[in-house]
Structure formats: C-alpha cells, structure tokens
Structure 1
Amino acid sequence: MLTSAKNEKVKNWKKLHMRKERINSETFLIEGFHLIEEAIQSKWEIKEIILQEGTILPDWNINCSVTEVTENVFQQISQTKTPQGIAAVVRFRRQQEVTGDYILLLDSIQDPGNLGTIIRTADAAGFDAVILGEGTVDLYNDKVVRATQGSIFHIPVRQENLTNRIQVLKQDGFSIWASALTNSKDYHKLTITSKVALILGNEGAGIQAKFLETADEIVKIPIYGKAESLNVSVAAGILMYHIKG
C-alpha cells in the first residue's frame, strides 16, 4: 500500500501527465474499468495496474503488477472528475502498417476532445486507419484517450508526414478528398471510388494550402441554417459515413 504522494513510483506516474515523459518512457496512463478492459481485449501491453484501496480488481487474467494506493495518492495521479479508483500504465504499441481502402488524414487538429471523438467515429464508421500530421495534439493526451472510449485500442493510428503519406496513397490509387468551404463541391454529389483518403484540417485555420493542392476533390458539407461552420468531429462523422455508405 502506497500512502505518500512523495513516493518515487507515484512521482513517475504523475510524470506521465506530460507528453515528454510519455515519449521518453513509451508509456501512458489510462483510467477506469472500461478503458483498461478495452486495452486488455485488444492485447495492448499493461505494465502496471494502480488500485485505490477498497476498489475491487476484476478477474482480467493478466500478468502485470498491481499496486494498491490510498485515496489521497490516487487523487494525485487521477485526471478525471469522478475517479473509479483504477488506473493502468500502458506501453505504446509499435506503429502498425497502414492497410485498407479508407484512410483518414488529420492536419493540425488541436482540441483533444475533437481528436478523440474523430478516432472513435473512424472506428465506428469502419475506416481502416487514422494518420496524424504535424501540429496535431498528442495521441496519448488523457483527454484524447478518454474521448476515444477505447477506440484508440481498436484502429491503427499513426503519426506521419502527411505530404509523404499523400504521395504514397496517390501512387496506390487512392482518391484524395479534402474538406474545405472554398472551391468545393457538395460531398453527396461526388462519386465515391474504391479507395478514398479523407483530409480534415485545423479547427480554425482548416487544411493547409499545400494539402488542398494535392487533393483530387475538395468537398464541403452544405449548411442550411445560419451557422458559419460545423465542428470538425461532426464533419468527420458525416463524411466518413457517407464514404463508407
């Protein structure tokens, strides 16, 4: 039982709140029964489980250390408003190869909730992979992980140079769709080809011009009311389901 927040192990767990420390250790923290169960079922490596005193550990049949801590210590490492009393240290998974015919490319998505929701929606819509370009929020940010609701463990998510990836996709016969309002066509008026890569851009600035120039189609979602634009995660959902439809 760890009772002090000054314990070295507790300090190391708290360091995982920072991106630099996650990268250095190649591990990240997750919280709650659902996320841990999703990670186990998807065969991600659980290095350690942290259990608040009085919390019952499910019979997950995994081979890792379990450390019990006091409520005060757990509050120190928790980043949720209503902690469930269970957390885990998870090892990064080696970046998986991108296969499949439906790929999502994200250019500088900065809001953690948006990124997590987009990954969750890509998983639900049956997209094959998500590629994160430069300027996109860290995949293992706790808010991103929570917003994926476990989809981070289901669908390959890679961090790459988008310019290079777009070139590879074009050579592989993909049609590149970019979401933008100007010089664009309504998405439902376009013919969906057998291989589509969809690019979505930054919440404020949109997709960078260099990526728009490489697109085969610039698509928009018509707005019938007075709103100026759609939230990027909502737009992602509409377009991905249309493409897969």
Structure 2
Amino acid sequence: MKQIESSKNEQIKQWKKLHKKRGREKANQFLIEGFHLVEEAVRAGIQMIAVIVTDEEVIPSSWNMDDRNIILTNDSVLKELSETDSPQGIIAVCTIPVEQKLSAEHGRYLLIDRVQDPGNIGTLIRTADAVGVDRVIVEKGSVDLYNSKVLRSSQGSIFHVPVIKGELSNWVDELKTAGVPVFGTSLQNASVYTAIQPSESFALILGNEGEGVQTDLLDKTDQNLYIPIHGKAESLNVAIAAGILLYHLRT
C-alpha cells in the first residue's frame, strides 16, 4: 500500500487532468468517486489503476483489491481529486473500457441524439438499465460519457448496460433491416405514444434538449411519437420522457 500526503505530488497532478475530456482521452482513464460507484465498477470488472482512500478500512475484503493499487491519503489530497462539494473518502482511477463491437439484432435499444446535459445522459442510461434495455447508442455531439456528472447520475448503470458511441443514422438503417421497429420522438407528424403496442423488440430515439431529434433521423423511423402535455409546461425533460416511453414500449 502506498501513501500520498501532498496535493503537489506528481501523480495527483496527472490524475487531476482526468477532470477534463481531453485528459481522459489522452490517458484512456477516468475517475469515479464515492463508495457506491466504486463498488459497482468493481462488480462490473472495470480495470482500476488505483483506489485512493482516506481510510483503508473503507475497502471491503470482498473486492479482492491488490494492496499495490491502494493509495492511502488525507482529506486535503482527496479534495484535490474530487469534483463534488463533499468528498466521500474514496476515489478510483479506472481504465476506459474497450467499446464493444455489436451489430443490430432483436432487442430493446435507446438511441440518444446529441444530448448535452451530463445529468440527463446519466439518467437516461440509468433509466434504460432499469427498463431492461439491451443497448444504448449515443450519437457524436452528446456529452462525454465519462464526465463525472454522467457517471454519478447513472448511479453505476453505465457499467451494467452496453453503451456505444455511433452514427445513429447507420444504426437506424441496420435496426430496420434486422426487423426492429424504430420510433422517434417529435411534436410534429407524430402519434400519441399510447397508440403503439408494447413489444419485445424496439428502438427509441430521444433528442437534444433544445432541438429534439434530427430531422433526417425522424424521416427514417417507422413511426414518431409524442407525449401529450396536459398542463402549461412547454415540454418534458428528456430523461422523464424516456422513462414514460420506454416503460410503455416494453412488454
């Protein structure tokens, strides 16, 4: 077990760079913090470079951690690495997993088109996990999946369900060829979502918070859906809409 007592330590400086997308991409690493997220990553088999703790007793024996990967530190150093107001005493440095190469087949899919808010992306992944979605496909232009707010709001679900970065237009074509019905979300030229019968196989596209789903994607779908607004709200939050639609569409 190692000890680091100064925030000026060169290793700490390098790990702080993981707060930025550029730093994560360069090192192929990301940070997670808090007991729950670290435990979920351990259970999912995420490779960990280091686990930094203020109390070694925080780490359960069931995690089977190699002592060489455990770093004991103080509150001051941990705060330097933390991106929360109240650090929870444990941070892990993890290797970004190799993205799975998957093809379209029967199943449940959530397609995310350029969603910018990290809290929304994380909640979408968490909701997809709860519903039993088989894969989440994220279009370029969406927020980085290893942003700390995405990880925290996913509550570990990002480690449970395959999340793939890809061109949604290509995925829509492949899904339709595989016989998977594809539904977009739109307020124009759309049917109320309750008109659709639940199915064991479907793909749902949710779009950017301000612009919605891209028109060229909506033109490719089997049908576009909307959720009625009965009050004076202009629209629903994208993650709330996903929950309503995904639970309705699945059998």
**Quick one: which of 11, 22, 40 aligns to 1:20?**
22
Structure 1 residue 244: Cα displacement = 1.1
Matched, 1:68 2:72: yes
Where does residue 106 of structure 1 map in the other structure?
112
Distance 2:115 2:195 in 1: 26
Structure 1 residue 61: Cα displacement: 0.9
Would you say the 8 A contact 1:53–1:71 is kept in 2?
A: no
Please name the residue that 1:216 is paired with: 222
The DSSP-based 3-state class of the residue aligned with 2:220 is coil
Aligned to 1:180: 186
What corresponds to 2:58 in structure 1? 56
8 Å Cα contact 2:56-2:72 kept in structure 1: no
2:147 paired with 1:141: yes
Distance 1:221 1:7 in 2: 53
Alignment match of 1:5 (pick from 7, 20, 28) = 7
Spell out, residue by residue over 1:87-117, the C-alpha distance to the aligned partner (whole angstroms, 9 max, x if none).
1011111112446511110001000000000
* Partner of residue 160 from structure 2, selected from 151, 154, 158: 154
Query: CA 1:56/1:101 → structure 2, altered by over 3 Å: closer, same or farther?
Result: closer
**How many Å separate the matches in 2 of 1:103 and 1:146?**
22
Change (3 A) 1:108 1:224: same
1: CA distance, partners of 2:216 / 2:57: 52
SS at match of 2:52: strand
Say whether the 8 Å CA contact 1:55–1:86 is kept in structure 2: no
**Aligned-residue RMSD, C-alpha:** 1.4
* Distance change >3 Å, CA 54–CA 26, structure 1 → 2: closer
Could you tell me the TM-score, scaled by structure 2's length? 0.93
Deviation (angstroms), 1:8: 0.9
* Aligned AA (1:135): G
Structure 2: gaps spanning 5 or more residues = none
CA distance in 2, matches of 1:203, 1:55: 43
- Check whether the contact 1:100–1:128 (CA below 8 A) recurs between aligned residues: no
Fraction of identical pairs, as percent = 45
* Residues 1:31 and 2:40 are matched in the alignment: no
Residue equivalent to 1:119: 125
Query: What is the Cα deviation at residue 194 of structure 1?
Result: 4.2
> Residue 131 of structure 1 contacts residue 157 of structure 1 at CA under 8 Å; is this kept in 2?
yes
SS of alignment partner, residue 16 of structure 1? helix
1-structure distance, mates of 2:53, 2:167: 39
**How much does 1:62 deviate?**
2.4
Which sits farther off after the overlay, 68-77 or 102-111? Answer: 68-77
Once structures 1 and 2 are overlaid, which stretch shifts more, 60-69 or 137-146? Answer: 60-69
Aligned with 2:71: secondary structure? strand
Contact 1:175 1:193 in 2 (8 A): no
Structure 1 residue 157, shift from structure 2 partner: 0.2
Give secondary structure in 2 for the equivalent of 1:104.
Answer: strand
